């Protein structure tokens, strides 16, 4: 049953990882699924702080937000008499319906299509999210405690229900280590759906928290002296018929040659990738050694200091390990677009597959304890220590720049220049406070 006041909304989750869009009466949905709704090129340079940076598009040009025609959308669930809102994630297309170069979702689609076309491979993936629950009446300072979980369970349970109804297949929710920190995980999805679900998870979780008069804050760090919140991308490769392609019991770490080459491509480009996966000024307060985030572009076996790690499996007798073996990219956070993270990871992995790169050495200890000579011998580097450094790495990496259409390059540069200018001169805590208010 719909009523005249029921609305639907078309959304783009932009380069800042923030969903923005336009709403309309739900009765118009059938027409809108074909026609889309208007959008503007200069919006690509919107900073998280809501201001459009100086950009080459200016007031010129028109675009459309276009959902996939067969999409069912997802419901933002109103509790306590608040209205529901039916949402659709869109591509940004030109007025003739052709993909627009500045669209992050299309960037990810193209990368996945090349992975399938060139290697017959599909990515199964799940974005694991940490977040801070702010403005909650309880103190929430007990790491992993039942008492904190119970204090927040009204919100947590309602959020899990809403996530289930929104189709993201939530898996687990927990009180994490940091003060007021929680984590929510999803079951793996195939290809683009993994990034779509990351967007939906953040939007739904924030929406439910708001209705509980609290705030689910996905900012990478809210206190420079405390732990950060990561968005870890769990992934594995499968053949198009679903056969797992990540596991080889005879190979080091149990990782197949193909998956190892894919990881080697990621590690090779990781300093530049950080500009897309950890793309805010404060991302680099989190991305430091000894925070269990990722300080180095190394391949770790069950190692939470590694940029990419091999995750543990249940290898008790009778359990099928091949379907569980998967990898985790840890150098990303929620100031990144999940589409750019997924697309860039696949693009880097593809470079490794094409070059048949050898398996990277496995690091079992803390990479910060390795000597400069050891790091060099294993091709391991400290990841960038600031956003300007990461952006410079990206500009220097012709391969990474070559993945990005001109509109993405221009829009991204414009956005990051304005973003950095806005936080220039602030203390780390002031920067954290500003980002916390946006994420
Ligand atoms: N909070 C850590 C991060 O910033 C991750 C801790 C964990 O391994 O769950 O990535
Ligand atoms: Mg965690």
Query: What is the signed CA dihedral for 301, 304, 305, 308, rounded to 10 degrees?
Result: 60
Contact 37, 64 (CB under 8 A): yes
CA angle 199, 134, 89 (to 5 degrees): 15
Pair of tokens at residue 88? 């659709």
Is the Cβ–Cβ distance between 424 and 302 less than 8 Å?
no
Residue to mutate, 177, 180, 225, 296, ligand 1, most ligand atoms under 8 Å from C-beta:
177
Residue of 226, 230, 307 best suited for mutating to test ligand 1, as the one with most atoms within 8 Å of CB: 230
Given a cut of 70, whether residue 367 has pLDDT beyond it is yes
Tokens 């197949």 belong to residue: 256
Asked whether the predicted pLDDT for residue 386 surpasses 70, the reply is yes
CA dihedral 95, 21, 234, 236 (to 10 degrees): -20
Is the distance from the beta carbon of residue 304 to the nearest atom of ligand 1 less than 6 Å?
Answer: yes
Q: Does pLDDT of 2 surpass 80?
A: no
pTM: 0.96
Q: With 80 as the cut, is the pLDDT of residue 137 above it?
A: yes
User: Tens digit of pLDDT for each residue in 66-86?
Assistant: 999 889 899 999 998 899 999
Candidate from 101-115, 154-168, 170-184, 362-376 with smallest mean pLDDT: 362-376
What pLDDT does 6 receive? 87
Q: Are 286 and 220 in contact (CB under 8 A)?
A: yes
Beta strands 7-13 and 85-94 are parallel
**Ligand 1 pocket, 175 CB below 6 A?**
no
Please report the pLDDT score of residue 302 as a whole number. 82
Model pLDDT, residue 303: 85
User: How far is the centre of ligand 1, averaged over its atoms, from the C-alpha of 252 (Å)?
Assistant: 25
H helix and E strand count, the chain:
13, 16
CB-ligand 1 contact for 24 (6 Å cutoff)? no
| Distance from residue 427's CA to the centre of ligand 2 (Å) | 27
Average pLDDT for the chain: 95
- pLDDT, position 258: 97
Q: How would you class 3 by CB atoms within 10 Å of its CB: exposed for 0-12, middle for 13-18, buried for 19 or more?
A: exposed
Which of 339, 438, 414, 439 lies closest to 45, judged by CA?
Answer: 414
Q: How far is the CA of 284 from the centre of ligand 1 (A)?
A: 14
Q: Using alpha carbons, list the distances in angstroms from residue 83 to 9, 24, 238.
A: 13, 14, 40
pLDDT in tens, 188-239: 999 999 999 999 999 999 999 999 999 999 999 999 999 999 999 999 999 9
Q: What is the pLDDT of residue 4?
A: 56
Q: What is the mean pLDDT of residues 260-275?
A: 98
Per-residue pLDDT of 170-198, as tens digits, reads 999 999 999 999 999 999 999 999 999 99
pLDDT over 90 (residue 5): no
Domains and CATH numbers, the chain: 7-100 (3.10.20.70), 106-438 (3.30.590.10)
Ligand 1 geometric centre to CA of 421 (Å): 28
With the most atoms of ligand 1 within 8 angstroms of its CB, the residue from 127, 217, 232, 334 to mutate is 232
For residue 227, the ligand 1 atom closest to its alpha carbon is 1
The pLDDT value given to residue 86? 95
């Amino acid at each position: 049953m719909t009523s005249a006041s029921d609305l639907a909304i078309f959304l783009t989750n932009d380069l800042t990882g923030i969903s923005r869009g336009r709403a309309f009466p739900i009765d118009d949905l059938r027409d809108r699924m074909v026609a889309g709704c208007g959008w503007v090129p200069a919006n690509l340079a919107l900073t998280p702080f809501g201001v459009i940076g100086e950009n080459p598009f200016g007031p010129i040009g028109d675009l459309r937000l276009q959902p996939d025609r067969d999409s069912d959308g997802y419901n933002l669930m109103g509790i306590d008499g608040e209205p529901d809102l039916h949402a659709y994630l869109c591509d940004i297309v030109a007025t003739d319906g052709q993909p627009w170069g500045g669209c992050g979702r299309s960037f990810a689609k193209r990368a996945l299509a090349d992975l399938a076309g060139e290697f017959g491979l599909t990515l199964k993936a799940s974005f694991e999210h940490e977040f801070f629950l702010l403005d909650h009446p309880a103190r929430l300072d007990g790491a992993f405690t039942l008492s904190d979980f119970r204090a927040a369970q009204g919100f947590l349970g309602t959020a899990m229900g809403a996530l289930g109804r929104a189709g993201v297949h939530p898996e687990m929710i927990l009180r994490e280590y940091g003060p007021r920190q929680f984590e929510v995980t999803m079951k793996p999805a195939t290809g683009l759906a993994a990034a779509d679900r990351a967007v939906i998870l953040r939007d739904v979780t924030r929406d439910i928290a708001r209705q509980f008069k609290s705030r689910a804050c996905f900012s990478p760090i809210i206190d420079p002296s405390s732990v950060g919140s990561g968005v870890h991308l769990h992934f594995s490769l499968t053949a198009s018929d679903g056969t797992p392609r990540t596991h080889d019991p005879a190979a080091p770490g149990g990782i197949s040659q193909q998956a190892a080459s894919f990881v080697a491509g990621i590690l090779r480009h990781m300093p530049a990738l950080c500009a897309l996966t950890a793309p805010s000024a404060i991302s680099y307060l989190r991305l430091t050694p000894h925070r269990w985030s990722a300080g180095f572009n190394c391949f770790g076996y069950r190692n939470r200091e590694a940029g990419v790690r091999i995750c543990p499996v249940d290898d008790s007798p009778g359990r099928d390990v091949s379907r569980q073996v998967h990898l985790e990219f840890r150098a990303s956070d929620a100031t990144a677009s999940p589409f750019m993270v997924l697309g860039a990871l696949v693009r880097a992995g593809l470079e490794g597959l094409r070059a048949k790169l050898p398996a990277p050495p496995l690091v079992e200890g803390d990479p910060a304890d390795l000597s400069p000579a050891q790091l060099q011998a294993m091709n391991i580097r400290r990841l960038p220590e600031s956003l300007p450094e990461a952006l410079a790495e990206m500009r220097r990496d012709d391969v990474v720049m070559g993945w990005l259409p001109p509109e993405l390059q221009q829009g991204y540069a414009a956005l990051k220049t304005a973003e950095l200018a806005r936080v220039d001169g602030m203390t780390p805590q002031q920067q954290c406070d500003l980002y916390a208010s946006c994420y």
